[in-house]
Amino acid sequence: MYGNRDQIRTQFVDAWHKAQAGETLTDLEQQLVDVISEHPEYHEFIKDRETALTGEFPPELGTSNPFLHMAMHLSLRDQARTDRPAGIQAAHASLCARFGVMDAEHRMMECLGQALWEAQRNNTPPDQNAYLECIQRLAAR
């Protein structure tokens, strides 16, 4: 699931519209629909293609980007499924057992967001060790 902003947003919107129409979904589309389904606060927004594709979410206004949020869920699930970085699968499972999937992933997003922010600020790849340590600290609490 790579591409520019419009392509990524279109994938979410198209998957949701296909699901609502009862059409057959690809594996990726099903993953997208699962995450959208878990966020009813985004349903009205996703239904309106034009708004979804052109919406702006400037952090200085305190608005959360629903596409970034849902993509982070997908990233965390993919990391847990593939155990990359090594050890995240166990931490994800532990956190999910304690808090439920959504709450656990929302907690983990803080670590993921921090790792991505630092990488962008430093113009470097994300520090996987620091990221995993942050996740493991959450799991150990």
Per-residue model confidence as pLDDT tens digits over 47-100: 988 988 898 888 788 888 999 999 999 999 999 999 999 999 999 999 999 999
Q: Tell whether 21 and 73 lie within a shared domain.
A: no
Inform me whether the pLDDT recorded for 2 exceeds 90. Answer: no
pTM for this predicted structure:
0.89
d(CA 138, CA 111): 9
Residue 31 lies in a domain: yes
Q: If pLDDT is split at 50, 70 and 90, which confidence band does 33 have?
A: very high
How high is the mean pLDDT of the chain? 93
Q: Tell whether 44 and 15 lie within a shared domain.
A: yes
User: Containing H/E element for 105?
Assistant: helix 101-122
Residue 121 lies in a domain: yes
Q: If pLDDT is split at 50, 70 and 90, which confidence band does 43 have?
A: very high
Domains in the chain, number: 2
Residue 60 lies in a domain: no
Q: Specify whether the CB–CB gap between 82 and 126 falls below 8 A.
A: no
Residue 30 lies in a domain: yes
* Residues of the domain holding 110: 65-141
Q: Tell whether 88 and 140 lie within a shared domain.
A: yes
What pLDDT score was predicted for residue 23? 97
Residue 25 lies in a domain: yes
What pLDDT score was predicted for residue 62? 82
Q: Tell whether 83 and 137 lie within a shared domain.
A: yes
Q: Tell whether 23 and 92 lie within a shared domain.
A: no
Q: Tell whether 113 and 45 lie within a shared domain.
A: no
pLDDT tens for each residue of 113-126: 999 999 999 999 99
What pLDDT score was predicted for residue 141? 81
Q: Tell whether 71 and 127 lie within a shared domain.
A: yes
List the helix and strand counts (H, then E) for the chain: 8, 0
Q: Tell whether 76 and 126 lie within a shared domain.
A: yes
What pLDDT score was predicted for residue 130? 96
